Amino acid sequence: LRVTLSLGEKQRCLTALEDTGNTLRDPVTGERVLVAGPEVAAYFLGLMPQQLRNPVSTLESAAQSGLRLIPYHSVGQKGGMLLAMRFPQVKVEGWEGSAVVAFSPEKLDADNTYQMLTGGNFR
């Protein structure tokens, strides 16, 4: 899927894999959460993979206002927390609105075919 993220003056068009098994949701609002790779966090927020690997420390250091934590678990991996931020302008194919984007400390795809994961139905 084509995804466009906008935050302030920055905008980036990305490719997302529609992962029907991805059930990640914001525990406060119940909204679906997009997952982006570390290159997206670096571009929009200047966050490096090491900061994403230590989300609580990064949040405590107030590296960026608006950051929050999203709990997760995945097949074959111990659960934990992902840093996340609400993006006010997100386009996913025919859907538009604001959405929470969580940042993985690891690349999502070794071939860089996609830079994000969607869950549920954003279209």
- 12-24, pLDDT tens digit by residue? 999 999 988 888 9
Q: What is the pLDDT of residue 59?
A: 87
Residue 63 has pLDDT above 80, yes or no: no
* pLDDT, mean over the chain: 90
pLDDT of residue 121: 65
Whole-number pLDDT of residue 4? 97
pLDDT at 33: 94
For the chain, how long is the longest CA-to-CA vector? 38
The pLDDT of residue 119: 79
